[in-house]
Every structure is written in structure tokens, then in C-alpha cells.
Amino acid sequence: MNLRVTCYLSNRHPLSPTLRPTHMAGLNRQPHRALRILFVGKDKEMKLLKDLGFSDGEAKVYLQLLSRPQGEMLDKVVTAFTIPTSEAEDSLKSLADKDLVRISRNRVEAVQPRIVVQTMLERRRKLIEAQQAQENSDALALEKMLEPVYWENRMGIRSEDIIEPLRDLADMELHTAQILNNATKEAVIFAETFGWYDKVREALFQAHDRGVKLRILMMASDESTLKRAKELQGIGVQVRRCTEEWYPVRGTLADQEVVFLIWATREREVIRPIYYRPHYTRNAGLIRIFRDAFQKRWEEGNPVET
């Protein structure tokens, strides 16, 4: 690196007698040439910084600040680093956003290189993980689209899943509200106490306002259940009580969509009832099974006296 030129440009040492003012005037008239001379000998550092994720401008600003132990005034970063103004401003903002420089009282200084390297490695790791996660998601989606086509054309087999597993009861409630919002003709609900009524109440009322035929079949007849039944009956929803002592299936059918779960234990008999994972389906066969089971118990059910 030409030490004399660098020292002159940084104003840290007196002008060398071997450098005449005419030479420097030439550099001032050619700022891009001056910039190239300034970074001669730092090519390796520049390359490694850019490999780590720095932009060209970020690397230049950081290397300049690195040689200033007291930092530099913000306005001078833009004007004194022989870097185009817009590039210097953008690079400085980006470095600050990434916590690679510190700004205090209108002065900016470089963060310790060890911390900078660790920060950039962590950013790169998260970026790679996010890219891998997206690629895995895209690959799985593509596989699910293409596999059924492959097997159906070769073996006459439809291999797509007929049911979609849901995460938990909260996810089931969310999907129930969604299919109620999609309903245009009919929706039926089979519940024990309908304790999750408040989670879908708005969706039920909106479906009713759209003219969707609603029927609710409940198994319990405690005070809370009767209160829910009374409110539903008040807007014209049909509500009945199932006469069976217990039935393990619960769910909602809205047009051609079903959300359901199967209980492994009776809710009244244990502190924490056990259930199988809830599911969603548009499969016509499963919809028919759920509809038939509901219809049988609806016809056998009794009106809820409120």
C-alpha cells in the first residue's frame, strides 16, 4: 500500500516531501482514481468482508472507520471518505442497522472486528436456515402435487390424503370458524356442551344472516349449555339434545367441509379428557359418514327446553 498517499488522504500525518501538491490536485480532480489508490493493499480484506455479506460500500466505510480509534463525525463519513455521497449514506445506515458500527453524539465508530465477524456469521446462518426451510417447504408442496399424478396415471391409485391433521383444539376451533364463514347452504354442529361457542359465535351469527340453515346437537343439559341454546334459539337456530348417553365423535359440517375429532375418554369422567388429534376433510366419503351419524342422532334427539 502507498503509505504516503494514504496518510495524506486521512490527514493523520504531514505531507511527505515526495508528494507534490500538483499530484494531489490531480487526485482531487479524479475522485474515483483516488478511491482506488486508497484501497490498494486492502483487496484481501475487501473480498473477505464481501464474502461475509458486506456490500462494497459497507466494506469501504467499515475499513475506513477501523483506522480511526476515536471514530468520525457523521458528516465527515459522507464527505471525507472519498466515497460517493449516496453510497456512503446508504452504507452507513446499513452498517448501523446491523449493529456493525456505533453511533453516539453524532459520531460513528467501528465495532470490534471479532464481534462484527460473529454478528455476520449469525446473520448468514439465519439466512441459510430460512432459505433451507423455504426450499424444504417448496419441495414438500411440489411432492404433494406431483406424487398423486404419478401414481394415478400408473397404478390407478389416488394417493392423496383424505384428511388433514390439525394441531390441537385451538386449531380446530379456528378451522371451524373458517368453514362456517365459507358456508352458503347448511351447517351442523355436534358438541358435548358447546364450551367453545364463544370462539365461533360471530361466524355462526354471520352464517345465519347469510341464510345458512343451522342445526346444533348437544349432549349435555347443564346451565351453561342451556344458556347457549337459548341464545341460539333466540335468533332462529334449531337446537336439540342428543338422547344417547355418550358418542365419541364431535365436529362441524359446513356444506362440503368437515372439522372433527374423536374422544378417547368421556369428558365428564376424567379431569383431563384424552382425544385423538382433530382433522379437517373435504372427502365425500367421510362427509357422508359424519352427515349420516349426525342425522340419525338429530332425528332421535329432543328439543332443548330453555
Domains 3-112 and 164-303 share a fold: no
Q: pTM of the prediction?
A: 0.50
What's the pLDDT tens digit per position in 42-53?
788 889 999 889
- What top-level class would CATH report for the domain 164-303? alpha beta
Given pLDDT bands bounded at 50, 70 and 90, which one contains residue 113?
A: very high
Output the pLDDT for position 18. 36
Given pLDDT bands bounded at 50, 70 and 90, which one contains residue 268?
A: low
Domain boundaries, the chain: 3-112, 113-159, 164-303
* Range in 60-69, 80-89, 141-150 the model is least confident about: 80-89
Given pLDDT bands bounded at 50, 70 and 90, which one contains residue 33?
A: very low
Sequence-separated (6 or more) residues with CB below 8 Å from residue 262: 248, 249, 250, 275, 276
DSSP bridge partners of 241: 218, 302
Sequence-separated (6 or more) residues with CB below 8 Å from residue 109: 65, 68, 69, 70, 71, 72, 101, 102
Sequence-separated (6 or more) residues with CB below 8 Å from residue 302: 240, 241, 243
Given pLDDT bands bounded at 50, 70 and 90, which one contains residue 21?
A: very low
Domain 3-112 fold is Arc Repressor Mutant, subunit A (1.10.10)
Output the pLDDT for position 80. 63
How far apart CA 35 and CA 31 sit, in angstroms, is: 6
